[in-house]
A = this chain, B = another copy of it.
Amino acid sequence: MTTFAHPDLTAPLFASAPDAQFEPAPADGVLPEHFFSTTNLPTYVKVGGRWRMPREPRMDSVLVLDTQGELWVREGRRVRRGEGVAVGHAEDGTLGIYVHAQAFLGSTGDGEFKFMTSEVSREKPIDYALMAKILLEERDRGGYPVWVTGPALVHSRARADMTWFLTNGFVGALLAGNAVAVHDIEASVYGTTLGMTGAGEATSGGHGLHMRAINRVRAAGSIANAVEQGIITDGIMFACVKHSVPFVLTGSIRDDGPLPDVVTDAIAAQDAMKEHTVKATMAILIATALHAIATGNMLPAFVTERDGSLRELATICVDSSEFVVSKLKDRGTHQAFGVVTNAQDFMHILRLYVEREISARTAGAPNAAMAASR
């Protein structure tokens, strides 16, 4: 059971502090403007030259000194007109109120009581304008952004958006598994993914379509051949071939087929991936735990610029749940910035922001990304 020492209330800080100030509540359930808002931590209040702890401590409430001289923590709604409510925002004792935060929060946080401190949460805003700006800067400086994607990207119709990024020079290399290519090619050849239509309906006989797509590429000998022969006519793999974006398809035990381009040996596959991770200046990991963590394992947390200076290797990890991002960090990729959303929606909005930024630049607007973010 963790115990805590009280602060040393004889220390100069405490001895020299003034009494806390109290102002009368202007109406029932209404507080004076600069009321002190409580935390759930041990709190010490100087009254009549003496440091005291209030009764019934809780957060999101105020300090009330009642007419008997008793000191309470009380919800604002329960304060009656005229009651004395402590004012002042300082929590460090300088205004007569001290929150014993360092003792409780010093080991894991920054020693201050705050809300919303978790690193990865669906409740955090997603700064698409910033990500769009980074992507454009990478393209401008000839960077090498490595994209690592799972099949949800294709399933969920972000396929057109991924193709757009490939076509427009934002992808240094694409790292994925057999399934991404299989579903993408199934979509090109049959218009379905795992037999599901673009509207999300399972189709009769659809369960065999990905196998038929694989078979046609196996017959052609490679994805590039299948593009050349007109079997694959659009989509992600088509764009890779047409725009000479290098891709690595790594094998796994879940693979059907696999496609002829797949590197089935895990060690050889790691070597093939590493040819790209050593050049990476940015990493975008979308909807895949396996490939994201594998890439994270190989990726330095930093980029050494040509002039020898260091910068963080921007690493964005997109997933529907907080778990994958936390797991990536738990495996050492601490620099990963988590975006908790659906892959389809992420791709669509990111593209939109990049397009807006490009338009704004063309139009000469100086603060384009800001404007785009409305």
Q: Which residues of A contact B (CB under 8 A)?
A: 1-6, 26-27, 29-31, 35-37, 39-42, 53, 56-60, 75-77, 89, 91, 104-105, 108-109, 112-127, 134, 137, 152, 155-157, 160, 194-196, 198-200, 202-208, 210-212, 214-215, 218-219, 250-258, 262, 264-267, 269-270, 273-274, 277-278, 289-291, 293-294, 297-302, 304, 309-312, 314, 320-323, 326-327, 329-335, 340-342, 344-346, 348-349, 352, 374
Structural contact, B273 and A253, CB atoms closer than 8 A: yes
Residues of B within 8 Å of A254, CB to CB, are: 290, 293-294, 297
Residues of B within 8 Å of A264, CB to CB, are: 265-267
Question: Considering the chains assembled together, what is the distance between the CA atoms of A329 and B105 in angstroms?
Answer: 12
Residues of B within 8 Å of A126, CB to CB, are: 156-157, 342, 344-345
Question: Considering the chains assembled together, what is the distance between the CA atoms of A298 and B210 in angstroms?
Answer: 16
Residues of B within 8 Å of A218, CB to CB, are: 29-30, 76-77
Known contacts A58-B300, A266-B251: A114-B202 contact under CB 8 Å: yes
Structural contact, B118 and A219, CB atoms closer than 8 A: no
Question: Considering the chains assembled together, what is the distance between the CA atoms of A180 and B291 in angstroms?
Answer: 18
Structural contact, B206 and A114, CB atoms closer than 8 A: yes
Question: Considering the chains assembled together, what is the distance between the CA atoms of A290 and B342 in angstroms?
Answer: 20
Residue of B nearest to A250 (CB): B253
Structural contact, A266 and B255, CB atoms closer than 8 A: yes
Structural contact, B37 and A212, CB atoms closer than 8 A: yes
Residues of B within 8 Å of A4, CB to CB, are: 302, 310-312
Structural contact, B1 and A312, CB atoms closer than 8 A: yes
Residues of B within 8 Å of A5, CB to CB, are: 310
- Nearest CB on B from A209, distance (A): 8
